Amino acid sequence: MTKRTWILAGVGVLALAVAAYVGWREFNRSPYPDWIVSSNGRLEAEQVDITSKYPGRIAQVLVEEGQMVDAGAVVVRLDAAETEAQLRAAEAQVRRATQAIDEAEHAVTLRASVLTLAKQELARTADLHEKGYATGETLDQRRAATDAAEAAVAAGVSSVGEAKAALEAAQADVVRLKAVLADMVLTAPRRGRIQYKLMQAGEVAGAGSRILTLIDLADVYLTVFLPADAVGRLAVGDEARIILDPVPQYVVPASVSFVAADAQFTPKSVETAEEREKLTFRVKLRIPSELLQKFESQVKTGVRGLGFVRTRSDRPWPDALQTRLPQ
């Protein structure tokens, strides 16, 4: 080959390289302004475990996975036969203690009458003794009888106090057992969707056992990981946008609800290998609760998508990130 041929070949190769580089730059260039930062993430929701406070056999599980439940709805009943029997025994003890108080008070009334009579007889005997019509022995007998009557009244009053204390203990036991019975009926702590049913009717749950898992669809957010230079220009409450992979035609409004205080390596499941080598901060982009309520039946956790934030809040959102929602 001649020198001219080599030169032309080199120029051609250089031109191809330049064209390839320009094409690569155009392909990888972000379609958004430089104040828009994006990151991959997935939808998550606040998760609540419904657990048993006391051990017992599960009598009923009243919900299924995927079912929506309102706050306060009964979802699980534990077998409470033994506790109900203990409650009936405690209520019987209350009745016995009440009857014991009545009997002790009647006894005190009777002994008070005996004491009154003893005091009257003592006074008459003392008067007769001063006039010489009663012996000293008789006077001593009247004094002893009065002392005995006073002791009997004091003992009766003590019995009344003991009976009242027994009543209070029995009443407290009734209150405790009613509370236990109430805790053996499990209710949804908030409105949400049953995510997992971990135990079935007939199984024995231990204290603290997880029976159901509920997700709160009023608190759904996209977790993303952003570099430090972008996070430093964010504030909690800033506007954000979310585009979900299954429905890329929609742009969901959101807001920055949380920024981690400590940097971390980006999880492998979220970012590319190159980005995983950078320290990033975890950020939550929360979807408004009124919007979640409107599309409650379509909301799902685990859905992947892109989260967008502005590092300059004074700049407008580009047209591609203006809010677009299904009608």
**Strand 264-265 with 279-286, pairing:** antiparallel
Task: State the DSSP H helix or E strand holding residue 48, giving kind and residue range, or none if neither.
Answer: strand 36-51
Report how far residue 153's alpha carbon sits from residue 138's, in angstroms, rounded to the nearest whole number.
Answer: 23
Query: Nearest Cα to 288, choosing from 191, 220, 192?
Result: 220
Reported as a single tens digit per residue, the pLDDT across 189-242 is 999 999 999 999 999 999 999 999 999 988 899 999 988 888 888 889 999 999
Residue range 162-169: average pLDDT?
Answer: 90
Mean pLDDT estimate for the chain: 85
Q: Name the packing angle between helices 81-131 and 136-183 (round to 10°).
A: 170
Give the domain ranges of the chain: 32-48+216-321, 50-79+185-210, 81-182
Q: For residue 179, what are the contacts with CB-CB under 8 A and spacing of at least 6? A: none
The whole-number pLDDT of residue 25 equals 45
Structure confidence at residue 125 (pLDDT): 82
- Collapsing DSSP to helix, strand or coil, 66 comes out as coil
Q: Is the pLDDT of residue 92 over 70?
A: yes
Q: Tell me how far apart the alpha carbons of residues 242 and 250 are, in angstroms, rounded to a whole number.
A: 9
The 10s digit of each residue's pLDDT in 258-292 is: 998 887 765 555 555 555 546 788 999 999 989 98
The pTM for the full model equals 0.67
Tell me the C-alpha to C-alpha distance, in Å, between residue 56 and each of 156, 280, 318. Answer: 45, 46, 58
CATH topology of domain 50-79+185-210: OB fold (Dihydrolipoamide Acetyltransferase, E2P) (2.40.50)
Identical fold for domains 32-48+216-321 and 50-79+185-210, yes or no, is: no
Q: How far apart are the first and last CA of the chain?
A: 68
Reported as a pLDDT band with limits 50, 70 and 90, residue 4 is low
At 77, is the pLDDT very low, low, confident or very high (cuts 50, 70, 90)?
very high
Query: 32-48+216-321 falls under which CATH superfamily?
Result: Efflux pump adaptor protein, beta barrel domain (2.40.30.170)
Q: Is 277 left (phi over 0), alpha (psi -120 to 50) or beta?
A: alpha
